[in-house]
Amino acid sequence: MIKNKNLRITGIVVAIVILIFWFSSKSGETSMKQSDTLLLKMRVVTLEEVTHKTPSYRHKTYIIRKVAHFLIYMSLGGCLSLGRKKNPIKVVIIIGSLALLDEFNQSFRGRDASLSDVILDVAGGFTGWAIVESVRYFFKNNKKEGES
């Protein structure tokens, strides 16, 4: 078991980055199948909607894909904060650089690279960082008298 907290957090950050690039390395068809499978398992769409590519299906697919972008980068931002990245500018630069590389990688797989996804990724990463920093601030400033 890894005893050093920063080493564990670094491992988690690396795992998240690998996961991000694993997802972006999929072809557009594979990526859509993954989204479809998730939506079907969640019972958000029916097989008929998926088969006919209804407007409702397209809307739900769009939403689930954007939520996935936001959440994975939110996790990354939170882990960066836990790894002692306290400077929000550095976090935005790290997240933004990874998001740009992610979209660049995706463009080689027959998928569109999207600036709006980069912005969403940065927003997710910053949100994760801000949540962890807010919780840390709250607990640091609300210790009972006599606690160290």
pLDDT of 95 reads 95
For tokens 């550095």, name the residue.
Answer: 90
Global confidence as pTM: 0.85
Residue 40 inside a domain? The answer is yes
Number of structural domains in the chain? 1
Q: Is 123 a domain residue?
A: yes
Looking at the domain assignment, is residue 148 inside a domain? no
- Full residue range of the structural domain in which residue 43 is found: 5-141
What residues of the chain score a pLDDT lower than 70? 1-3, 85, 144-148
Predicted pLDDT of residue 72: 96
In a domain, 146, yes or no: no
Q: Does a structural domain hold residue 84?
A: yes
